[in-house]
Amino acid sequence: MTNPILEQLTQHRSIREFEDRPLSPHQVTELVNAAQHASTSTFSQQYSIVSVTDPAKLHAIADVTGHRWMVNGGHYFVMVADQYRNLKIAKAHGIDPYMLHSTDKFLASVFDTAIATENIMVAAESMGLGGTIMGSVLNNPRKMIELLNLPEMTFPLLGIALGYPKDKPELKPRLPKASMHFENQYDLDANFDQELTDYDQLIREYYQSRSTNGRSETFSHHIVSELSGNRNLRSDLFAMIQAQGLMTH
């Protein structure tokens, strides 16, 4: 069975090269609208979106993320976990905002932000656009907070670079379903060695054959190299999140 939505979802690939063509204000509004209609934990709408249009700020964010190509996109959003608005509501009603500072409420704001982010990506792809979600704004949250004038109880979680695709990268194969979709309980006894060996080979072929940045790397190599990086990278995140007043208990 297929339908246009399933078809589009399974054709997703991150786009990192764009035509020199900005999104229209109408398109940006449509994307924000799509984000707003996502599910939101306890209907608390715990995120905000900053459209970054100032070229100097875009360049500064490119420095943070290390992604020079993002300045050539058609639009850039920063997705911000946000309990500031609800803090103001609590204060206006004389309520003790203790709950807002909890791990539970921080997680809720992360869920809301992430789900809204994916809605933007899916909506953009439905409009013939493409883009890349960027966790690399977390390389320097202090700089992001300063650049965007983010208040207490907010945290910049993700960037989204969008635009008219200039390339169409090969689809990245995902894990074999047997290794990640279980029934009723996590299957600790199953032996997926063969599936994972086959998947490693599939990913090696994908990296070898792709048109840009080709290399010989399996999925296992990729995970090992992800975990062998600089231990100090982003090691200040926990402290930064708490300094913003979030996840203090």
**Which of 11, 172, 173, 205 is the binder for ligand FMN (CB under 6 A)?**
172
- Cα gap 226→220, rounded to integer Å: 10
**Which of 9, 95, 135, 178 is the binder for ligand FMN (CB under 6 A)?**
135
The interface with ligand FMN within residues 201-240 (CB under 6 A) comprises: none
- Least Cβ distance, residue 185 to ligand FMN (angstroms): 27
- Cα gap 35→27, rounded to integer Å: 12
Choose the binding region for ligand FMN from 26-34, 74-82, 96-104, 128-136 (rule: CB under 6 A).
128-136
Residue 12 interacts with ligand FMN (CB under 6 A): yes or no: yes
Up-side HSE of residue 180: CA atoms within 13 Å toward CB? 6
What contacts 24, CB < 8 A, 6 or more positions away? none
The three-point CA angle 118-123-120 to 5° equals 35
Please identify, using beta-carbon distances, which residue of 165 and 245 lies nearer to ligand FMN: 165
The interface with ligand FMN within residues 45-104 (CB under 6 A) comprises: 65
Residue 133 interacts with ligand FMN (CB under 6 A): yes or no: yes
Residue 140 interacts with ligand FMN (CB under 6 A): yes or no: no
**Which of 10, 14, 42, 53 is the binder for ligand FMN (CB under 6 A)?**
14
Residue 165 φ/ψ, nearest 5 degrees: -60, 135
What contacts 131, CB < 8 A, 6 or more positions away? 14, 15, 73, 121, 124, 160, 161, 162, 163
- Least Cβ distance, residue 56 to ligand FMN (angstroms): 21
**Which of 119, 132, 140, 154 is the binder for ligand FMN (CB under 6 A)?**
132
Residue 75 φ/ψ, nearest 5 degrees: -170, 150
Closest CA to 47 of 114, 96, 138: 114
Using CB under 6 A, list all residues that contact ligand FMN.
12-14, 65, 132-136, 158, 172
